[in-house]
Amino acid sequence: MAVLGKVYLIGAGPGAADLITVRGARLLAQADVVLYDALVTPEMLELCAEAEKISVGKRSGQRSTAQVHINEQLVECARRYRMVVRLKGGDPMLFGRADEELRALEEAGIEVEVVPGITTAVAAAAATRQPLTKRGVARSVAFFTSSTAPDQPEHAALPETDTMVQYMGGREAAATAERLLGQGRRPDLPVVVIENCSRPDQRILRLTLSDLAHGLDMAHGPVLVMIGETLQRRPHQSPD
User: Which of 38, 201, 192, 223 shows the shortest CA–CA distance to 126?
Assistant: 192
Q: Domain-by-domain residue ranges, the chain?
A: 6-115, 120-231
Q: 6, 18, 32, 37: which is the annotated catalytic residue?
A: 37
**pLDDT tens digits along 59-91:** 554 545 689 999 999 999 999 999 999 999 999
**What is the pLDDT at residue 60?**
52
How many Å apart are CA 15 and CA 109, to the nearest integer? 32
**45-49, 71-75, 214-218, 219-223: least confidently modelled range:** 219-223
**What is the pLDDT at residue 59?**
55
**pLDDT tens digits along 101-159:** 999 999 999 999 999 999 999 999 999 999 999 999 999 999 999 865 555 556 678 99
pTM comes to 0.90
Q: What's the chain's Rg over C-alpha atoms?
A: 19
What superfamily in CATH does domain 6-115 come from? Tetrapyrrole methylase, N-terminal domain (3.40.1010.10)
**203-207, 225-229, 236-240: least confidently modelled range:** 236-240
Task: Say if strands 203-208 and 190-195 run parallel, antiparallel, or are unpaired.
Answer: antiparallel
What superfamily in CATH does domain 120-231 come from? Tetrapyrrole methylase, C-terminal domain (3.30.950.10)
How many Å apart are CA 143 and CA 159, to the nearest integer? 8
**pLDDT tens digits along 150-176:** 555 566 789 999 999 999 988 889 999
Say whether 37 is catalytic: yes
Residue-averaged pLDDT of the chain: 92
Residue 235 binned pLDDT confidence (cut-offs 50, 70, 90)? very high
Residue 213 binned pLDDT confidence (cut-offs 50, 70, 90)? very high
Q: 6, 32, 58, 201: which is the annotated catalytic residue?
A: 58
How many Å apart are CA 103 and CA 133, to the nearest integer? 34
